[in-house]
Structure 1
């Protein structure tokens, strides 16, 4: 049953398979080699070259973000309604709670004052009243503003979006 010829065939099969893998690796390295010599030395180039204008208008200097008062003076409630689409998954404006508390009347309301909603407790340590400025900072980074909050939203980085949303909530919520 197990003779010399069977043993030779098994060893030959393993050696043949190893040879195929070694040759396949060598061919693949040759075909798909990026640059330089076979040892990975030499200059390598990116597939796309992105030229950056060092001077002029784009100069690489970051703009100083506008302060709250400047942004608040030009807030647009109509644009804030579009931004509210990001909030709609967890919050409602009809007085009923969802994953998060309802937001009608939130501007000027005491923090954690919605009855029937179980807050995490982190918000009450951050502020007493949802003033437009408190909301502005909270909406930038909820977890950073109220450490320990269960609100998992990452925040709105654009200051204009935040003031527009607050203006919308102030008008929609009464």
Structure 2
């Protein structure tokens, strides 16, 4: 048995495949946008809630806050280097965000997806960083990318 397809059938198949591709792309994009942003924090820390508000506004995304696990355990499981530890840890779309990382750097990470990077961190709690705005005082700080590729400066502030 020999099958023959006319130009009309081939064009219809191409159109169907293209439509399927657009639907699949939209579904993947929606799934990425719907992925949860989960922030782990110590219930005694107030700046974490302020940082979560910054992320909600800056990334236009909901942040789920969890206070049910020991922070040392969360950080160890996430692979946060000891010298980059801060007060809260967030998981977002396969990345780890440690401390007071500005929302625009998280957006950049999610857009660029650099090879060998597990996450971003702002060590400690520098004044003037998101969630640590205190009376206009500002300290310089760096956003550090970390992972298989080692550590590198992702951004510097101010």
Tell me the TM-score normalised to structure 1 length. 0.21
Higher strand proportion:
2
- Greater length-normalized contact order (CA 8 Å, ≥ 6 residues apart): 1
Q: Looking at CA atoms only, which structure, 1 or 2, has the larger radius of gyration? A: 1
Higher helix proportion:
1
Tell me the TM-score normalised to structure 2 length. 0.23
